[in-house]
Amino acid sequence: MAVKKVVILAGGLGKRLRPLTLETPKPMIPVAGKPLIEWVLLNLKKHGITDVILSIGHLSEKIKEHFGDGLALGMDIKYNVEKELLGTGGAVKDIVKKFNIHEPFVLVWGDTLMDTDFTKMINIFIKSHPKLVMALTEREDVEHFGVAKLVDGRIVGFVEKPKRENAPSRLINAGAFVIDPVILDILPDGISSIERDCFEKIAGAGEISAHIHDGYWYPSDSMEKYEKIKSDIDKGVFVLG
């Protein structure tokens, strides 16, 4: 089973990146000479995922002007402009309905720089037949995140912001998934969180397989983190491409 379609959530206002995002949409902030989200797209393309739906909002026309139909990248890019904030769950459910998606697809948060091995994730999905494959990354500061509890390679629950000594693991949601759209039926109409209202609810049934991402992972949701990404690239900690 080939998984070629990806939904990228990239509609955030980027308030914590101001003044950078006052005139530049968050996905377009520059990283090593390209917009951040272009690096996300290039990594997806490397793994054969070229059918793209970009969910955008703030200053959306600038994103559309830059990427167009995606032909220059060797991809097919379509857009979903978020006219109202529906949360991660509402946004994904809306896209699946609008674009008539019935087959498994990749879902990615668009504000995180990571060299995800989507080929491995798709292979896990094909071999173990879960409803969801979630990429997990290891962090020391687990007290700031929801932490995954694993049994035999399956995620069976999450513990929200535990003390380090009480954490079931040091693995957190990295923001990359292979998903069977049938699981979205659990979400209510309108505003919802795909993490709380879907992932956490199906975890207890053993429906989520884990992919341990051991490469680079860093979000860009604040100026401090954005500067850290640029510094890591300058120092060669993370090599793009």
Distance CA 115, CA 39 (A): 9
State the sign of the Cα–Cα–Cα–Cα dihedral 24, 29, 34, 38.
negative
Q: Dihedrals φ, ψ of 3, to 5°?
A: -110, 110
Q: Where are the beta strands (DSSP E) in the chain?
A: 5-10, 30-31, 34-35, 51-56, 76-81, 105-109, 112-114, 132-138, 146-151, 154-160, 171-179, 208-213, 217-219
Which residue, among 28, 25, 4, has the nearest Cα to 15 in the 3D structure? 25
- Please report the pLDDT score of residue 79 as a whole number: 96
Q: In this structure, which CATH number among 1.10.3720.10, 1.10.530.10, 3.30.70.270, 3.90.550.10 belongs to the domain 5-235?
A: 3.90.550.10
Q: What is the pLDDT of residues 111-121, one digit of tens each?
A: 888 889 999 99
Q: Dihedrals φ, ψ of 19, to 5°?
A: -85, 0
- Please report the pLDDT score of residue 215 as a whole number: 84
- Please report the pLDDT score of residue 216 as a whole number: 81
Cα–chain-centroid distance for residue 75? 18
Q: What is the pLDDT of residues 190-236, one digit of tens each?
A: 999 999 999 999 998 889 999 999 888 866 666 777 777 777 777 76
Distance CA 213, CA 119 (A): 12
Distance CA 87, CA 95 (A): 12
Which residue numbers in the chain have pLDDT < 50? none
Query: Cβ contacts of residue 205 below 8 Å, gap of 6+?
Result: none
Which residue, among 31, 30, 40, has the nearest Cα to 10 in the 3D structure? 40
DSSP H/E element including 111: none
Query: Cβ contacts of residue 145 below 8 Å, gap of 6+?
Result: 139, 161, 172, 173
Q: Indicate the domain borders of the chain.
A: 5-235
- Please report the pLDDT score of residue 53 as a whole number: 97
Range list of H helices, 8-117: 36-46, 60-67, 87-98
The model's pTM is 0.90
> How far apart, in Å, are the Cα atoms of 39 and each of 2, 32, 89, 143, 167?
22, 9, 24, 29, 32
Q: Dihedrals φ, ψ of 39, to 5°?
A: -65, -35
Which residue, among 33, 10, 205, 25, has the nearest Cα to 107 in the 3D structure? 10
